[in-house]
Chain A
Amino acid sequence: MDSSEAVYNALKEAEIDFIVSLPCINLGKLLEMVECDPEIIHVPVTREEEGFGIAAGAYFGGKNTAILMQNSGLGNSVNVLASLYELYKIPILMIISHRGTQGEPIIAQIPMGKATPDILKVLKIPYFNPKTSEEAFKTIKKAWDMAKTNGSGVAILLEISYW
């Protein structure tokens, strides 16, 4: 089970059946697996905020929802996470490629990489940093259960070293 398979297997285990996404180089293999899965409705979106909106509608329609995104998109999504997700208590599993972490080759990723955990904290969104495939597999299922119980987003931050 490699790093992408671990996340995919955990999404299946959690019965996630509706995924919105924006790509990251580190999410490439996972996105292909999701796209090829006939049990998952996969909606590529133009902006993360829009993705959260679409996923909220899908949750109302009975789906178990997740977003696959890069941490840069968290900045685009602060208002929707507060004034839609927190306000109405809507769950979502946030699988986030955490750029700007150890080993980052692109300098522009550093500021948002540093800000990401603090933004989640301010929004009161619980998050986990699994370091290995085994840890990710276990944590993701738990995170979705927590999202449903809390009626909130729960984030999985996957740093560069994870992949």
Chain B
Amino acid sequence: MERIEAMKIITESLNDELLICNIGFPSRELYSVKDSNTHFYMLGSMGMASSIGLGLALSQNRRVVVFDGDGSILMNMGTLATIYNQNPENFILVVFDNECYGSTGSQCTYAKTVDLGKVAKAIGFEKTFCFRDTIEFEQILKLKGPVFVHVKVDPGNADVPIIDLSPEDIKNRFIHEINKNRSF
């Protein structure tokens, strides 16, 4: 399955969840699949998607979904231990694993030989899922987190344009969306 297809399937099942999306082509693909005030597109700071999502989950009640990648998880693996220890119920970490650094020319990552789902289990995550040809995300949304969702996807990026929002616009509308919901 292509990553953009996997993103399409998952975003169709989301309602008011807050979504943090990884740097590079993943953010561009998500933006072209669907744009929403509930989306935060990372434009830099590779590796930080899972950590940003954790901080957001710990600081408010709405459910947080993170779209991360294998290269980024490998770059910031320690945060999996932090997530497990903080144990946020409203947190779903989705890792699109194409076994390569897709935004820089598809160089191989160690995810080819290291099973990131097994890593999550070894750290202590009780709810881990692996999808390859189909994704059933509705069942994930019914669970108490933290949930680790490993999605094996094909290498390669979709032909999608860059995101024509400024960093501050991305941030401000995201914060506005979070605050809007907080009032009741």
Number of A positions contacting B (CB below 8 A): 32
Instruction: List B residues 42-91 near A (Cβ within 8 Å).
Output: 42-48, 50-60, 64, 76, 78-79, 81-82, 86
Task: Say yes or no: A41 contacts B45, CB within 8 Å.
Answer: no
Cβ-defined contact, B55 with A89, below 8 A: no
A47 in contact (CB, < 8 A) = yes
Interface of A is mostly: helix
Which A residues, 57 to 85, have Cβ-Cβ distances below 8 Å to chain B?
Answer: 57-63, 79-80, 82-84
Inter-subunit contact A41/B59 (CB<8 Å): yes
Size bracket of the B interface: 35 or more
CB-defined contacts of A87 to chain B, threshold 8 Å: 43-44, 167
Closest-CB distance, A53 to chain B (whole angstroms):
3
Q: How far is the CA of A67 from the CA of B80 in the complex (A)?
A: 19
Chain A residues near B60: list those with CB within 8 A.
Answer: 61-62
In the complex, the chain A residue whose C-beta lies closest to that of B42 is A84
In the bound complex, do residue B47 and residue A60 qualify as a contact, i.e. CB atoms below 8 Å apart?
no
30 pairs, CB–CB < 8 Å, chain A vs chain B: A41-B58, A43-B82, A45-B78, A45-B79, A45-B82, A46-B82, A49-B47, A50-B76, A53-B47, A53-B50, A53-B55, A53-B79, A54-B58, A54-B79, A57-B55, A58-B55, A59-B55, A60-B56, A61-B60, A61-B178, A62-B59, A62-B179, A63-B59, A79-B44, A80-B45, A84-B45, A84-B48, A84-B52, A88-B167, A89-B171
